[in-house]
Amino acid sequence: MPSPEAVAAIAMFRSQQANPGAADLSYAEQREQGGLMISSMAPMPAEAKTERLTVAGVPALWVEVPDSEPDRAVLYLHGGGYVVGSILSHQELAARIARAAKARVLVLDYRLAPESPYPAAVSDAAGAYQFLLDAGLEPSRLTIAGDSAGGGLTVATLLALRERGLPLPGAAVVLSPWADLTHSGESITTKAVEEPVLTLENLRLWAGLYAGDADPADPMISPVNADLSGLPPLLVQVGTAEVLLSDAERLAEKVRTAGGTVEYQPEDGLFHCYQLFPLYPEAHDAVDRIGEFIRKHTAQ
């Protein structure tokens, strides 16, 4: 059962879902407002150091803490339905992952729809991974990670790297992955009442904006339809009360069936991307497990 702190957060998110004030804002305004809201709830820890830079033609942010090992890095792809989300909204989570994984974390502001639909995000993420290789980092010491749309993008990026014949990272981590933009999973309907964060209306809107003229069932857009063989060890975390539960379940099962290594960690009663907010013990426990997984699979 969720902790009392998580139950309070669920009530807060339900109240926000019932009054979606962002509906009248432009997408640029929604990104800014969302980033400011999350950063106010999850301020950066004092020990975290950041450095802004441009990677593969888009903004990025290095996040590190005193325990970060300079030769271990995580490429982090933020969530937000391929339409919203930013460095600002996810930098605090990156700092917690940096601490838990003893790594530096590169948060990428990949291009978003509707201004830049598929395949812009995949191209940017693959370019950022190439940036890390060009910087001299060993693939075995790298991880690609992401939440929600960033989780689906993580898998799509691995597929793009595999297609290009590039060495894959030592590990991959997906949190509440949006891996089926056709929304064929059972939980899309069975969990709709329980889910306090996502709505099918928003998912359908974002899917259309991201796919553009492409088929949303394309395996590079909906990785649950892809051949998932040959991927690095994968950690999948998801809440059992979220509409994307089926995406996570199917993704983990397909990797396992293809002979890959996968750790599947469902959290009872928790909601979409619960790791993002450090307001309840489940978020901290989940990030601790993320760090343990990354350290295990990117050891020297």
81 Cβ contact partners less than 8 Å away, ≥ 6 residues apart: 148, 149, 178, 202, 203, 206, 210
Amino acid at site 218: D
* Environment class of 278 (CB within 10 Å of its CB; exposed 0-12, middle 13-18, buried 19+): middle
**Catalytic pick from 68, 86, 89, 148?**
148
Q: Which of 190, 200, 142, 176 is nearest to 283 (CA)?
A: 176
* Greatest alpha-carbon span in the chain: 50
Q: Three-class SS of residue 258? A: coil
Task: Please tell me the distance from the alpha carbon of residue 240 to that of residue 244, in angstroms, as a whole number.
Answer: 9
* Environment class of 246 (CB within 10 Å of its CB; exposed 0-12, middle 13-18, buried 19+): buried
**Catalytic pick from 195, 272, 282, 297?**
272
Which segments of the chain does DSSP mark as H helices, in order? 4-18, 27-41, 87-101, 120-134, 149-164, 187-190, 200-211, 245-257, 281-297
Q: Three-class SS of residue 68? A: coil
What are the percentages of helix, strand and coil residues in the chain, rounded to 5? Answer: 45, 15, 40
**Catalytic pick from 92, 242, 267, 282?**
242
Is residue 26 part of the annotated active site? The answer reads no
Measured from the Cβ of residue 58, the count of other Cβ atoms closer than 10 Å reads: 19
Is residue 246 part of the annotated active site? The answer reads no
Is residue 148 part of the annotated active site? The answer reads yes
Q: Which of 294, 160, 131 is nearest to 226 (CA)?
A: 160
The set of catalytic residues is 148, 242, 272
